[in-house]
Amino acid sequence: MTDSVKTLCPYCGVGCGLEVSPPASAGRATHRDSQGNPIWKVTADRAHPSSKGMVCVKGATVSEAVDKDRLKYPMMRDSLGESFRQVSWDEALDRIVHRIKTVIATDGPDGICMYGSGQFQTEDYYIAQKLLKGCLGTNNFDANSRLCMSSAVAGYIQSFGSDGPPCCYDDLDLTDCAFLIGTNAAECHPIVFNRLHKHLKKDRKAKLIVVDPRTTKTAEAADLHLAIKPGTDIDLLNGIAHLLMRWGKIDTYFIDECTQGFAEYAQIIRHYSPEIVAQSCNIPIEDLEQAARYWADSERVLSLWSMGVNQSSEGTAKVRTIINLHLMTANIGKPGAGPFSLTGQPNAMGGREAGGLSHILPGYRVVKNPQHRAELEQLWGLKPGQISPEPGRDCWSMITGLETGEVGLLWIAATNPAVSMPDLERTKAALLKSPLTVYQDAYYPTETAAYAHIILPAAQWSEKTGTMTNSERMVTLCPQFRPRPGEAKADWEIFAEVGRRLGFTEQFQFETSADVHREFIQATRNRPCDMTGINYERLQQEGPLQWPCPEEENPVIDQKEEKLFTSLFKNPAEKPSAKRLYTDWKFNTPDTRARFAAFHSKGLAEPPDEDYPFVLTVGRLYGHWHTQTRTGRIEKIKKMHPNPFIEIHPRDAANLKIEEGALIEVRSRRGAARFPAMITKAITPGTVFVPMHWGAIWADNAEANNLTHPIACPISLEPELKACAVQLIPV
């Protein structure tokens, strides 16, 4: 009889620990799904340091989807109009290798693109980088994390000199004031929110500020809800900074000793008087002042944000403007405080560590840095100059590359762009032009499989061993404990096999994922995300480990730092631990100072106008995950969220004579979709909300991304999926 197994939830970036028991464990009744099939029982891992015995409905039901609609064998077709035929791995891989060679010979390596996923384990990510960026010599690897948290990455790099969320989940239990902006954590990061909520209930003096145009479950719990006009986040943040300056509630010692650029920033925020900001954000002036007062009166402020900030044409500016507030008040590097971006995907953080975006390289390196490229060429046994100095295509530019004929092979893995990309009609039209699309996934059918020439069966959660890193930099080993269906393989195994068939036998001599991990951690040596002290053996014996974790374990805080901490923190129990970054207030910039940045708000890329008078915002629901590839196959979750809908404020509904449940056609400049109306005061007048989960497989004509646009932040290249202008037509 197999014992229970500890692993990680494969859904969101909270990264909760799970304990999974086989269908018929001794002393337990067999757990069955709604069709009576035995399923593995999932409970919370009480010992996991991040989730402390909590789990939400997604994690608790994950095993119910693992055996449904699985892709078991490689399949191919010569054109999209044909049916797939089952083929051997040899036949499928030979065709891929032949195509790679042909594209390189005719168009060079930049004709090849891979679009991966925060669902990858770190080992998958790492081998994909080695194949594409190292061996093939193109940086055209991007992940769906581009649509999720690349603005946070860019903001951290520019403000602190390096990526890496400085906070940890213990800060949720220690903060005096939680400032949640652009995140519906109660539904989208529920266990993080549960932990925060418990603390707020215990410490009645601690405050919760929520900034969101919707009255979400998160906003309902707030001491202060600021339902700002979409696109005015920077106005609000500068307005709070203005009041903190006016009241003298800034930390001049920290600003003088640990930062650069404050003078220019101070000039900018002088323009953001409460009167101007309240008007532009469309909130009462008293609420703005109250928010600033909470910041001013709190010793420890913790900001949390996710897609509402990141998915914006000024996403990096928003992130940096949040960080500005932390820098001017020294709310960083100490317990209960800091700017904390919540990642969407379970291993988006591992992707960052492994270099899984088109402008970065493993070990928090960047493509443009010649020394970084040289270090990896040496580690990978490649000739100097093999890694291209140019950032590769981000995921939207892969789509435009298909339009222009510059992409000769698109390889998509563990993501579903035919639902999740912006401007879906254009995306799908581009996919139809692809000369060869390889699609690698655990499930079939999916919306994207319809655009593939070759589909490859991937092993998923529970069927392969690897590591994942959650939002607080905690690395968990996720072991294989179930057999793989049919001929499914781990993603990294597929990439490595292609590498060997291309002649890179030396580079891909891995037999197990532990071999891959051993090499990967060498790429992190002496880097901000140093994980050389984290290996499979330690993870098995000690459980999850947080980085930085260099080989020389538990680095001792030097005496000078010890003295600084003692003077800063009266209660010794509050002394900073290795769990936080920047506890010595030295940053990863050349002069160790953090950088202020001064921004004026530019507003929405596509503001409402006479023709398209409403702002559409999109988001997730508590039970569903992204494009429903898993959760759409789980009965409990389907019952919880049976249909898509559109939230409309009663005043707007009355003006348009819309009744509850009426079918509404929503049109933008790019496309249309239809949703039943849900009339609610939860949304502000002039704004409407639709969930993003329903692709063509799950509902007719209810694809939110038919409406969205691809205009992106010029720095992070993250599209503004959160807002576009629409009109509403009762059908």
191 binds ligand SF4 (CB under 6 A): yes
The owner of tokens 């093939």 is 136
12 binds ligand SF4 (CB under 6 A): yes
Interface pick for ligand SF4 out of 5, 16, 157, 269 (rule CB under 6 A): 16
Cα 340 to Cα 166, 168, 215, 568: the distances in Å are 7, 8, 22, 21
- Choose the binding region for ligand SF4 from 55-63, 260-268, 305-313, 631-639 (rule: CB under 6 A): 55-63
Reading phi first (left if > 0) and then psi (alpha if -120 to 50, else beta), residue 582 is in left
Among residues 640, 543, 646, 527, which one has the least CA distance to residue 588?
527
457 binds ligand SF4 (CB under 6 A): no
Nearer to ligand SF4, 145 or 159 (CB): 145
Residues 6+ apart with CB under 8 A from 729: 664, 665, 666, 667
CB of 48 to ligand SF4, least distance (A): 10
The owner of tokens 């902006």 is 181
Q: Which two tokens stand for residue 251?
A: 């930390």
CB of 118 to ligand SF4, least distance (A): 12
CB of 17 to ligand SF4, least distance (A): 9
634 binds ligand SF4 (CB under 6 A): no
Interface pick for ligand SF4 out of 5, 20, 56, 581 (rule CB under 6 A): 56
461 binds ligand SF4 (CB under 6 A): no
As a whole number of angstroms, the distance between CA 525 and CA 38 comes to: 44
Nearer to ligand SF4, 16 or 114 (CB): 16
Among residues 24, 150, 168, which one has the least CA distance to residue 469?
168
Could you give the strand order of the β-sheet that contains 301-305, starting from the edge strand earlier in sequence? 224-226, 207-211, 177-181, 301-305, 338-341
Four-point Cα dihedral 324, 325, 328, 333, nearest 10: -90
DSSP 313: T
Instruction: Please report, as a single letter, which amino acid is at residue 23.
Output: P
Among residues 183, 182, 154, 152, which one has the least CA distance to residue 167?
152
Nearer to ligand SF4, 15 or 315 (CB): 15
Cis peptide bond prior to 445, omega within 30° of 0? yes
Nearer to ligand SF4, 139 or 471 (CB): 471
- Choose the binding region for ligand SF4 from 35-43, 186-194, 350-358, 501-509 (rule: CB under 6 A): 186-194
CB of 193 to ligand SF4, least distance (A): 9
* Total residues interacting with ligand SF4, rule: CB under 6 A: 14
Written in H, E and C, the secondary structure of 245-306 is HHCCCCCHHHHHHHEECHHHHHHHHCCCCHHHHHHHHCCCHHHHHHHHHHHHHCCCEEEEEC
Interface pick for ligand SF4 out of 5, 9, 104, 490 (rule CB under 6 A): 9
CB of 216 to ligand SF4, least distance (A): 16
As a whole number of angstroms, the distance between CA 169 and CA 166 comes to: 11
The owner of tokens 């009609």 is 425
149 binds ligand SF4 (CB under 6 A): no
59 binds ligand SF4 (CB under 6 A): yes
Q: Which two tokens stand for residue 412?
A: 């998509």
CB of 149 to ligand SF4, least distance (A): 15
Nearer to ligand SF4, 57 or 711 (CB): 57
The binding track of 318-337 with respect to ligand SF4, each residue x by CB under 6 A or -, is --------------------
CB of 528 to ligand SF4, least distance (A): 24
359 binds ligand SF4 (CB under 6 A): no
722 binds ligand SF4 (CB under 6 A): no
- Choose the binding region for ligand SF4 from 65-73, 184-192, 648-656, 694-702 (rule: CB under 6 A): 184-192
17 binds ligand SF4 (CB under 6 A): no
Q: Which residue is nearest to ligand SF4 (CB)?
A: 59
Among residue numbers 519 through 578, which ones bind ligand SF4 (CB under 6 A)? none
Residues 571 and 159 sit within 8 Å (Cβ to Cβ)? no
Interface pick for ligand SF4 out of 155, 182, 190, 344 (rule CB under 6 A): 190
Interface pick for ligand SF4 out of 52, 58, 365, 674 (rule CB under 6 A): 58
Residues 6+ apart with CB under 8 A from 37: 67
As a whole number of angstroms, the distance between CA 249 and CA 244 comes to: 5
Q: Are strands 112-116 and 85-86 parallel, antiparallel or unpaired?
A: unpaired
148 binds ligand SF4 (CB under 6 A): no
Among residues 569, 151, 549, 546, which one has the least CA distance to residue 333?
569
As a whole number of angstroms, the distance between CA 349 and CA 332 comes to: 20
Phi, psi of 42 (to 5 degrees): -110, 130
CB of 692 to ligand SF4, least distance (A): 16
Nearer to ligand SF4, 112 or 178 (CB): 178
55 binds ligand SF4 (CB under 6 A): yes
Nearer to ligand SF4, 61 or 159 (CB): 61
CB of 357 to ligand SF4, least distance (A): 22
Nearer to ligand SF4, 12 or 76 (CB): 12
Residues 6+ apart with CB under 8 A from 642: none
- The distance of Cα 137 from the centroid of its chain, to the nearest Å, equals 26
- Choose the binding region for ligand SF4 from 183-191, 289-297, 427-435, 550-558 (rule: CB under 6 A): 183-191
626 binds ligand SF4 (CB under 6 A): no
Q: 163 by DSSP, 3-state: which?
A: coil
CB of 128 to ligand SF4, least distance (A): 23
Q: String of b and e for 105-133 (b: at least 16 CB within 10 Å)? A: eeeebbbbbbbbbbbbbbbbbbbbbbbbb
14 binds ligand SF4 (CB under 6 A): yes
Interface pick for ligand SF4 out of 6, 15, 164, 200 (rule CB under 6 A): 15
Nearer to ligand SF4, 190 or 691 (CB): 190
Nearer to ligand SF4, 23 or 53 (CB): 53
42 binds ligand SF4 (CB under 6 A): no
DSSP 132: I
193 binds ligand SF4 (CB under 6 A): no
CB of 14 to ligand SF4, least distance (A): 4
Strands (E), 527-657: 545-546, 594-595, 614-619, 646-648
344 binds ligand SF4 (CB under 6 A): no
Nearer to ligand SF4, 59 or 608 (CB): 59
Nearer to ligand SF4, 206 or 468 (CB): 468
- Choose the binding region for ligand SF4 from 52-60, 161-169, 388-396, 591-599 (rule: CB under 6 A): 52-60
Interface pick for ligand SF4 out of 5, 11, 329, 726 (rule CB under 6 A): 11
- Which residues make up the interface to ligand SF4 (CB under 6 A)? 9, 11-12, 14-16, 51, 55-56, 58-59, 189-191
